[in-house]
Amino acid sequence: MKRVIGKIAIIFVAVYALATAAMYVAMLQGPSVFANTMKHVPWQTMMVLPFKPLWMSARAGHVNVGESAPDFDLKSTDGNSEFRLSALRGQRPVVLVFGSYT
């Protein structure tokens, strides 16, 4: 009986470790890939896996205080023009606010 329980425990730990690793790899992907992956994951998974620590590690970023922000392009809300962050470099201070409204 102890052998059976031991094997079940080993399988459980292996499945948990693989699921955690798979979630972390998904979190490292871009937003669209991550969203596409998460739409197939049951909500109960968030209660079982260490979602918040994985997220904080995967999305920690690589910019340190004092470094320039990575350049990026954004379309205007009306879609008629584009905005490039580097176009404002050296002209005036820029505040970046990122959020999700979904």
Q: In this predicted structure, what is the pLDDT of residue 73?
A: 86
Residue 49's domain spans which residues?
2-88
pLDDT at 69: 80
What is the pLDDT at residue 94? 83
Q: State the Cα–Cα distance between residues 100 and 43, nearest whole angstrom.
A: 19
Residues of the chain under the 50 pLDDT cut: none
Instruction: Tell me if 95 is assigned to some domain.
Output: no
pLDDT of residue 102: 62
Q: 33 and 40 in contact (C-beta within 8 Å)?
A: no
Domain count, the chain: 1
Is residue 14 assigned to a domain?
Answer: yes
User: Is residue 37 classed as helix, strand or coil in its secondary structure?
Assistant: helix
Domain for residue 102, yes or no? no
Residue 100 is assigned to a structural domain of this protein:
no
In a domain, 98, yes or no: no
pLDDT of residue 101: 67
Residue 99, domain member (yes or no): no
Inside any domain, residue 96: no
Q: What is the DSSP letter of 17?
A: H
Say what the pLDDT of residue 53 is. 92
C-alpha to C-alpha distance for 49 and 17, rounded to whole angstroms: 9
Where residue 35 falls (left for φ over 0; alpha for ψ -120 to 50; beta otherwise) is alpha
Q: Please check whether residue 26 lies inside any domain of the structure.
A: yes
